[in-house]
Structure 1
Amino acid sequence: MKRIALYLALFAGAVVSVAPYLMTLNSAFKEPAQVLTTPAWEPAFPVTLENFAQVWSQYDMAGFLLHSLVYAGAVTAGQVVFSTMAAYAFGRMSFPGRDVLFWGYLATMMVPQIVTLVPLFLIMREFGLIDTYLGLILPTAFGTPYGIFLVRQYFRTIPRDLESAARIDGAGTLTVLVRVLLPLSRPILATLATITFITTWNTLLWPLIVTNGDATRVVTLGISALKGQHSSQYHLILAAAALALLPLIVIFLLFQRHIVRSIALTGLK
């Protein structure tokens, strides 16, 4: 009975979590009149693809999705590379002031993002990076406290005997990182990449501040602008939201196994 109750609770939690996404996808296939006259959970009938065709042809959804892909992909690649190197330095190397520096850097997580927006904008303006991909990418491409902390904690679970054995064989610091630690850390790196990509893809505030043209407009800004211009055409907004949601579903399905392994495994095979 306890197991049945547990599974029922988990099922209820899953339904509550997934229901908004399913209702968005369902409503995106409804005709304009049905969107406002039927409940969101009522199946679309008849099913129509006109909403997707209209939002794709009348608005630059392909461009918005491409801009978001470049933005999120570049930030994710930078986060994985630089967070890994910083995590190795903080977790496996010894140098004066290491722990003080790490915990001081980690304390910046308590600073709200809104506090740093104006200084970041002024820096980007001084370098002439307003309304550019570099202006979008640079503030978060070199690692974040959360990413470094996540990878560092995983590195600390890997036995030091493996690293010592590699050094006895003549491996240097970079070789140990690339050939010993990274192969054992694929689950946590996949988790970091997935979290970073999804977070960056969904970001609205920083792109809103640093971009002002269609050449760099990401999908979140595209949907926001669509809602502002056509506040009553919810069928188009839902179709655009469904298009923006699909890449995230694909990313999660590809990496969900690694996310579970990063929680369940240590670094020792």
Structure 2
Amino acid sequence: MSATSAPARGDTLSAASGAIPAARRRRRLPFSPWHLVLIPASVALLFPFAWLLITSVETSPEALHFPPILIPHTIRFANYSDALSSAPFVHWLLNSAVVAVVTVLCNLVLCTLAGYAFARFRFLGRTALFAVIMATLMVPFQVTMIPWFVITKWLGVHVLAGVGINHIGALILPNAATAFGVFFMRQFFRTLPLEYEESARVDGASRLTVLIRIVLPLATPPLATLAALTFLDSWNNFLWPLIAVTSTNQMTLPLGLATFQGAHATNWPLLMAGNVMSLIPMLVVFFVAQRYFIRSVAATGLAGT
């Protein structure tokens, strides 16, 4: 008994002595010291946004001054009204909203149906087809933009003019469904127990009824995450609208903001004011959907491929 009790007392004393410095460190610093790394990282990430806000309320001489003036002498909020009046800003904003909302709705419908089919249905060539879809994620846009342009132009001439070049539909159709959306929804559906669906099928429900009434109510986090990510990607898209749209009336907001930059001079305060106003919808979408991000990513990451 004495041989076994001595090490036990030693372990207790060592644990107590080790707990005292830890308690002292916790009393001095209420968080892990590794969290101190986040402070310079946060400053580095927030500094461009702070510079954006400061430049949006400066005068043109202050915006062009070097070194940069981080505390403007005169706060000029008129830059925002000037940005709205000097260009069809509201029209570009509406075009971006239409393109983003319709793209989100198309992705939610098409990616959900495709992801559910890959997760639940067994058909010939399912694995090969899914591998091909995943392989498209590794193809850069610079490779596919010319085929996109040719196909979109052909559809506008032979099928429907509204989806052709220089129309808003040309900005929606190529992004109506994405490989990432299909993969994201498939991974979530694979985490759902089959018992929910099998019991409904026994009661006579069809596959579509099971999907709408049972599966989709459980898929709120991944649907919200997919909607937010698709909205942000569509809202910030610049290169494809630059290729597919030539008319000022059909421009989206990122493409329209580029018109503030001239060949010889750029009105930086107006450009920054327009960028600040374009950030507001994205911030709203992010803060509304942020509580679904971690839950959905954690759920979709549990299932194997």
Distance in 1 (alpha carbons) for counterparts of 2:213 and 2:68: 51
Deviations 1:195-223 (A, max 9, x none): 11111111111101111001210111111
Corresponding residue for residue 219 of structure 2: 185
> 2:48 pairs with 16, 20, 24, which one?
20
Corresponding residue for residue 281 of structure 2: 247
TM-superposed CA distance for 1:45, in Å, is 4.6
Is the Cα–Cα contact under 8 Å of residues 30 and 44 in structure 1 kept in the other structure?
A: yes
Distance in 1 (alpha carbons) for counterparts of 2:148 and 2:123: 30
Identify unmatched segments of 5+ residues in structure 1. Answer: none
Question: One-letter code of the match for 1:209?
Answer: I
The reply to whether residue 146 of structure 1 matches residue 146 of structure 2 is no
Seen in structure 2, the aligned counterparts of structure 1 residues 91 and 14 have a Cα distance that, compared at 3 Å, is farther
> 2:254 pairs with 220, 233, 236, which one?
220
Distance in 2 (alpha carbons) for counterparts of 1:175 and 1:11: 50
Residue aligned with 2:191, SS? coil
The reply to whether residue 202 of structure 1 matches residue 230 of structure 2 is no
The percentage of counterpart residues that share the same residue type is 37
TM-superposed CA distance for 1:260, in Å, is 2.6
Question: One-letter code of the match for 1:10?
Answer: L
Distance in 2 (alpha carbons) for counterparts of 1:86 and 1:241: 36
Residue aligned with 1:94, SS? coil
Is the Cα–Cα contact under 8 Å of residues 163 and 176 in structure 1 kept in the other structure?
A: yes
Distance in 2 (alpha carbons) for counterparts of 1:235 and 1:250: 23
Seen in structure 2, the aligned counterparts of structure 1 residues 118 and 174 have a Cα distance that, compared at 3 Å, is same
Distance in 2 (alpha carbons) for counterparts of 1:75 and 1:40: 39
Seen in structure 2, the aligned counterparts of structure 1 residues 40 and 182 have a Cα distance that, compared at 3 Å, is farther
Is the Cα–Cα contact under 8 Å of residues 79 and 144 in structure 1 kept in the other structure?
A: yes
The reply to whether residue 52 of structure 1 matches residue 80 of structure 2 is yes
TM-score (structure 1 length as normaliser): 0.91
> 1:173 pairs with 201, 204, 207, which one?
207
The reply to whether residue 257 of structure 1 matches residue 288 of structure 2 is no
Larger radius of gyration: 2
Seen in structure 2, the aligned counterparts of structure 1 residues 148 and 39 have a Cα distance that, compared at 3 Å, is farther
Question: One-letter code of the match for 2:239?
Answer: L
Following superposition of structure 1 onto structure 2, how do residues 90-169 of structure 1 map, counting pairs within 5 Å?
90-128=118-156, 129-141=164-176, 143-169=177-203
TM-superposed CA distance for 1:39, in Å, is 6.4
Corresponding residue for residue 17 of structure 2: none
Distance in 1 (alpha carbons) for counterparts of 2:203 and 2:42: 49
Question: One-letter code of the match for 2:214?
Answer: V
- Which structure ranks higher in relative contact order (CA pairs < 8 Å, sequence separation ≥ 6)? 1
Question: One-letter code of the match for 1:161?
Answer: E
Question: One-letter code of the match for 1:174?
Answer: L
TM-superposed CA distance for 1:32, in Å, is 2.3
Indicate the larger mover: 234-243 or 20-29. Answer: 20-29
Distance in 2 (alpha carbons) for counterparts of 1:74 and 1:92: 27
Is the Cα–Cα contact under 8 Å of residues 27 and 40 in structure 1 kept in the other structure?
A: no
Distance in 2 (alpha carbons) for counterparts of 1:230 and 1:246: 29
Distance in 2 (alpha carbons) for counterparts of 1:105 and 1:226: 39
Distance in 2 (alpha carbons) for counterparts of 1:87 and 1:166: 20
Deviations 1:64-107 (A, max 9, x none): 11111111111111111100000000011111211111111111
Distance in 1 (alpha carbons) for counterparts of 2:41 and 2:238: 27
Is the Cα–Cα contact under 8 Å of residues 101 and 231 in structure 2 kept in the other structure?
A: yes
Indicate the larger mover: 2-11 or 178-187. Answer: 2-11
Distance in 2 (alpha carbons) for counterparts of 1:231 and 1:4: 49
Seen in structure 2, the aligned counterparts of structure 1 residues 160 and 205 have a Cα distance that, compared at 3 Å, is same
TM-superposed CA distance for 1:159, in Å, is 1.1
The two structures, once aligned, show a CA RMSD in angstroms of 2.1
Residue aligned with 1:261, SS? helix
TM-superposed CA distance for 1:9, in Å, is 2.4
